[in-house]
Amino acid sequence: MTTPPRTDAIQETAAGGHPAPAARRGIPKLAPEAWAAAALLFTLVVMLTAQVVLRFVFNIGVSWLEEVIRFVFVWSVYASFLVAAEDDRHIRVALHLSWLPQRWQTVMLTLADLVWIAFNLTVVWFGAVYAQSLFEFPYISQTTGINMVWVFLVVPMGFLLLSVRVARFMAKRWRGEATLRDSRLDS
């Protein structure tokens, strides 16, 4: 009885005997937003753990750490919704769309996405106006002493990048590279 050849991703090599690209070796190819979200969530967990240990084990409260944790949490939420938008994994009611032919699904999803982009661009506009006012009239954080514009800038930046992601996925859908799917069924 012969054993099948080994197909471990780590053992694969590209032409010429060189190691395979990172994506084939088991390191996932992720968008920059996914790496940013992962780094922010990791930082959040480390800071929260440090805060709990310092407070309950050593009886030391670090006030600036609590504030920075809130800032990192806000940024991680915005980075995470960009990750969801990359593959059209945002929550949407789509049961009624599954009853339509493929062409009409694409039309209806495009209309919904255009409304979504219009909303996003409205948030970008007013977020940028608010950020500009924070540059002119700084709102300084109590414990860290930083201008809160650096925290609030995530709103217009996040919604602008979200609009780009949605538009890119819309184009992908029209090229036939993506269809309506139930993300609960994805593995």
Could you tell me the residue ranges of all domains in the chain?
30-176
Confidence of residue 123 (pLDDT cuts 50, 70, 90): very high
**% the chain with pLDDT above 90:** 44
For residue 147, the 8-state DSSP code is B
Helices (H), the chain: 32-56, 63-86, 95-98, 102-136, 149-152, 154-174
The pLDDT tens digits for 23-79 are: 456 666 777 888 889 999 999 999 999 999 999 999 998 889 989 999 999 999 999
